[in-house]
Amino acid sequence: MSQLITTISRSYPWMKTPFIVSAPMRVMSGPTLAVAVSRAGGLGFIGPGVKTQDISSDLQKASSLIKSLPVSQSQPSTLQNQPVLPVGVGFQLWSDDLEVAISTITKYQPCAAWLFAPRNGQKDLDTWSRRIRHASPSTRIWIQIGTLAEARELAQGSEEPDVIVVQGAEAGGHGRANDGLGIMTLLPEMMDCLPAHIPVFAAGGIADGRGAAAALCLGATGVVMGTRFLAATEARISPGYQREIVRASNGAVSTTRTLLYNRLRGTVGWPEEYSPRTIINKSFIEHQAGRPFDELKELHDEALKAGDAGWGPEGRLATYAGAAIGLIHEVKDAETIVQVVQEEVLQRLSNVQKANSAQ
Amino acid sequence: MSQLITTISRSYPWMKTPFIVSAPMRVMSGPTLAVAVSRAGGLGFIGPGVKTQDISSDLQKASSLIKSLPVSQSQPSTLQNQPVLPVGVGFQLWSDDLEVAISTITKYQPCAAWLFAPRNGQKDLDTWSRRIRHASPSTRIWIQIGTLAEARELAQGSEEPDVIVVQGAEAGGHGRANDGLGIMTLLPEMMDCLPAHIPVFAAGGIADGRGAAAALCLGATGVVMGTRFLAATEARISPGYQREIVRASNGAVSTTRTLLYNRLRGTVGWPEEYSPRTIINKSFIEHQAGRPFDELKELHDEALKAGDAGWGPEGRLATYAGAAIGLIHEVKDAETIVQVVQEEVLQRLSNVQKANSAQ
């Protein structure tokens, strides 16, 4: 366990344990959020853009933000003293352009590339990993999986990842659709199957120190939070969307996996193994009640024009979010989120241990 | 946290932390298993019988097993020195007979009664709780819930439970069907809603020290394991069924919630909010492929006659089990299960804490 922590610390010397990562959420995880998370002792990822080209300006911005920090001679582990760009970047393989990705990575040398949702499984993961490593040897490869089948394919692949992210069904946005369960059973069963020398980060349903401590006990070397950072000051998110993340509760009932909102938004092309978790609103409720899609589409497009009022229980817009929404009650800055979760983890581990050891 | 542990220790002085409970699985949790779990420092529950009358002979047997243990003057907390019968008993409220249950509880004074699946929600839970407390004041009331709505109803009830069991969607056998998610998000959101002075036990997806430690970090005072004890030497289970528990893996894919096996078995009457998780075998696969029910039923009934060969991937019989099956690789005696999980929990908490505190 401590060897795996050392592995992470060598690659990302600014990170503090317990390791907290902000997920590369498409568009919403921008450079300001990513840099804030890394500054706080976590690791921030920039999410895929609408087009692969978009990450170039995001990495440029991240790079400027890092360069604006004062260099410290006495603290070589600080963020601004790294030979790499101390934020990661995520790619949605089925839709992202490999050549554009490679030229951007070559230019900005981000510390990590998170590969997700290939159209051709391990073959694509291997190609991307090889090309990225060739272009930027110091960029570490993170690969996200959600099933035991993917874990087995990974073991057959030609390029071993540096970090594996295991995502459970609680996660917001797109994940493995049908055969996913939460990380409670998925993670330990994956751990028993994956190579012991590769750090595993847990994702899905983690929004506070309780979930983070639980994931570490299940075997993770660190945790990834997505939805929690949608309610970060620095998230690139519409205020109406963010307010809904804070408002919504009862994640087991008020979120679901559905392709409806992709259809309403005109999002096409996702490999069929994936579907997104979203907060339920009027579009879904009326869809369930049998209202024709054309009507829902029209109302959705009107809601789009309404802006922030398009989200919420009376809204109609896609509100991709994880089942942990009921644990998120306020917008906080990313640094506070990281630090509070880290403190809660250590406090909780200590309390549970003390309470259960004393006999 | 330690106050809640004290609350449990006062009621069940033989229990050792971390608290491990064996679930009242219908028929399969018999008196031999329940007594073995309590002897090991856990708390064993006898499951509902085919008829409510059946628990009388099970409690009689448990009572005899306890009485056969040597009394120790020097250790008043040992199992055989308790004023109550140191095993619990579970009731499936929609099908169990209240009057029969009350007369049996009056006679045997089990230390706990676990109430589950009422037909009329909180009203039934209140009635059963009141009647049980009147009949046997030292019998503690355990109530199992799986949704936030039930937690809120519980707060409105007239009879406060002594222990609340929160069951996640990973659990085997019958649980809340549609609106359940795993305990990763469910448990902490429930904890924030439930009264802080009532101990909460977590159930669903816990089969080893990793899951148990995770559940404690999520806020549980103790954990319940079901499927793990199906693979206990003392379980009242057919060898073919038990072999399948040990064989099966990939719980996210190889188990599902379906009413098919209830139909094949002729089980009727479950409130519609419930459905069972089962290991998938040929009945389900062919059902999915469109084979008519009558044919499936005929083949199922033939498989019943085949006995132990009726279970397994080529089998057709109901194999109710939780998503943690991939974490269970051998049959062990109940004492070993309890002790190994307890040791693993403490070891894991200690390791995670050490690895994440050292900087």
Mean pLDDT of A103-107: 97
pLDDT digits (tens, 9 = 90+) for A163-183: 999 999 999 999 886 566 899
Q: Give the pLDDT score at A179.
A: 60
The residue of chain B with its CA nearest to that of A358 is: B17
Nearest 5°: phi and psi at A344?
Answer: -60, -40
Mean pLDDT of A339-355: 97
| Cα angle value A233/A235/A236 (rounded, 5°) | 130
| Cα angle value B30/B33/B34 (rounded, 5°) | 80
Residue A119 reports pLDDT greater than 60: yes
* Cβ contacts from A onto B, under 8 A: 204
In sequence order, which residues have a C-beta less than 8 Å from that of residue B32 and are 6 or more positions away?
Answer: B61, B65, B234, B236
Query: A352 vs B322: CB contact, 8 Å cut-off?
Result: no
Mean pLDDT of B112-116: 98
Which residues on chain A are in Cβ contact (under 8 Å) with B353?
Answer: 346, 349-350, 353
Radius of gyration of chain A (CA): 20
Asked if residue B23 lies in contact with residue B226, where contact means CB atoms within 8 angstroms, the answer is: yes
Q: Give the pLDDT score at A70.
A: 78
Assign A268 a pLDDT band (cuts: 50, 70, 90).
very high
Mean pLDDT of B97-113: 98
pLDDT digits (tens, 9 = 90+) for B303-355: 999 999 999 999 999 999 999 999 999 999 999 999 999 999 999 999 999 99
Q: Give the pLDDT score at B232.
A: 98
The residue of chain B with its CA nearest to that of A148 is: B250
Asked if residue A146 lies in contact with residue A271, where contact means CB atoms within 8 angstroms, the answer is: no
Is A330 in CB contact (< 8 Å) with chain B?
no
Helix ranges (DSSP H) in chain A:
2-11, 31-39, 54-67, 98-108, 121-135, 148-156, 183-191, 209-217, 227-230, 239-247, 251-254, 260-265, 282-288, 293-306, 334-357
Cα separation, A77 vs A85, whole angstroms: 13
Q: How many CB atoms lie within 10 A of CB B324?
A: 28
Q: Give the pLDDT score at A356.
A: 96
Residue A20 reports pLDDT greater than 70: yes
Domains, chain B, with CATH or none:
1-68+77-237+333-358 (3.20.20.70), 246-325 (no CATH)
CA distance A216 to chain B (A): 7
Query: B185 vs A208: CB contact, 8 Å cut-off?
Result: no
pLDDT digits (tens, 9 = 90+) for B255-289: 999 999 999 999 999 999 999 999 999 999 999 99
Cα separation, B87 vs B32, whole angstroms: 10
* Residue in the block written with tokens 């929160």: B166
Cα separation, A18 vs A339, whole angstroms: 10
pLDDT digits (tens, 9 = 90+) for A126-148: 999 999 999 999 999 999 999 99
Is B343 in CB contact (< 8 Å) with chain A?
no
Left (φ > 0), alpha (ψ -120 to 50) or beta: where does A205 sit? left
Q: Give the pLDDT score at B38.
A: 97
Distances (CA, A) of B168 to A64, A291, B195: 46, 32, 19
Mean pLDDT of A279-297: 98
Assign B76 a pLDDT band (cuts: 50, 70, 90).
low
DSSP designation for B324 = G
Tokens of B24: 């009242």
Alpha-carbon torsion (B57, B232, A147, B146), positive or negative: positive
Closest partner residue to B185 among A186, A252, A358, by Cβ? A252
Alpha-carbon torsion (A217, A222, A228, A232), positive or negative: positive
Q: Give the pLDDT score at B75.
A: 72
Mean pLDDT of A101-120: 97
Query: B184 vs A183: CB contact, 8 Å cut-off?
Result: yes
A232 strand-pairing partners:
A332
CA distance B229 to chain A (A): 16
Is B218 in CB contact (< 8 Å) with chain A?
yes
Asked if residue B151 lies in contact with residue A253, where contact means CB atoms within 8 angstroms, the answer is: no
Which residues on chain B are in Cβ contact (under 8 Å) with A181?
Answer: 169-170, 182, 205, 251-252, 323
* Residue in the block written with tokens 């609103």: A281
Closest partner residue to B180 among A208, A217, A252, by Cβ? A252
Q: Give the pLDDT score at B78.
A: 83
The residue of chain B with its CA nearest to that of A15 is: B359
Closest partner residue to A189 among B17, B217, B327, by Cβ? B327
B141 strand-pairing partners:
B113
Query: A350 vs B345: CB contact, 8 Å cut-off?
Result: no
The residue of chain A with its CA nearest to that of B222 is: A356
Please give the mean pLDDT across all residues of chain B.
95
Q: Give the pLDDT score at B80.
A: 84
Which residues on chain B are in Cβ contact (under 8 Å) with A339?
Answer: none
pLDDT digits (tens, 9 = 90+) for A179-207: 668 999 999 999 999 999 999 999 999 99
Q: Give the pLDDT score at B46.
A: 98
Query: B346 vs A357: CB contact, 8 Å cut-off?
Result: yes
Residue type, A330: E
Which residues on chain A are in Cβ contact (under 8 Å) with B351?
Answer: 1
Which residues on chain B are in Cβ contact (under 8 Å) with A184?
Answer: 168, 170, 182-184, 204-206, 211, 214, 323
Query: B323 vs A181: CB contact, 8 Å cut-off?
Result: yes
- Output the DSSP codes for A150-189: HHHHHHHSSS--SEEEEE-TT-SEEEE-SS---HHHHHHH
Cα separation, B5 vs A353, whole angstroms: 12
Which residues on chain A are in Cβ contact (under 8 Å) with B323?
Answer: 181, 184-185
Asked if residue B190 lies in contact with residue A253, where contact means CB atoms within 8 angstroms, the answer is: no
Q: Give the pLDDT score at A181.
A: 83
Residues 1-30 (B) with a CB less than 8 A from some CB of A: 1-2, 5, 16-18
Burial status of residue B144 (CB atoms within 10 A of its CB: 0-12, 13-18, 19 or more): buried
Q: Of the candidates B102, B110, B98, B99, which has an alpha carbon nearest to the alpha carbon of residue B58?
A: B110
The residue of chain A with its CA nearest to that of B326 is: A189
Nearest 5°: phi and psi at A75?
Answer: -125, 80
Cα separation, B64 vs A80, whole angstroms: 71
Q: Of the candidates B198, B184, B183, which has an alpha carbon nearest to the alpha carbon of residue B141?
A: B198
Which residues on chain A are in Cβ contact (under 8 Å) with B348?
Answer: 217
User: By percentage, how much of chain A surpasses pLDDT 70?
Assistant: 97
Which residues on chain B are in Cβ contact (under 8 Å) with A148?
Answer: 249-250, 252-253, 326
Is A169 in CB contact (< 8 Å) with chain B?
yes
Residue B178 reports pLDDT greater than 60: no
Stated as kind and residue range, the H or E segment containing B33 is helix B31-39
* Residue in the block written with tokens 């590769």: A198
Is B355 in CB contact (< 8 Å) with chain A?
yes
Radius of gyration of chain B (CA): 20
Which residues on chain A are in Cβ contact (under 8 Å) with B352?
Answer: 1, 213, 216-217, 349
Cα separation, B146 vs B176, whole angstroms: 6
Cα separation, A98 vs B224, whole angstroms: 48
Predicted TM-score of the model (pTM):
0.97
Q: How many CB atoms lie within 10 A of CB A323?
A: 32
The alpha carbon of B188 is separated from its chain's Cα centroid by a whole number of angstroms, namely 20
Residue A317 reports pLDDT greater than 90: yes
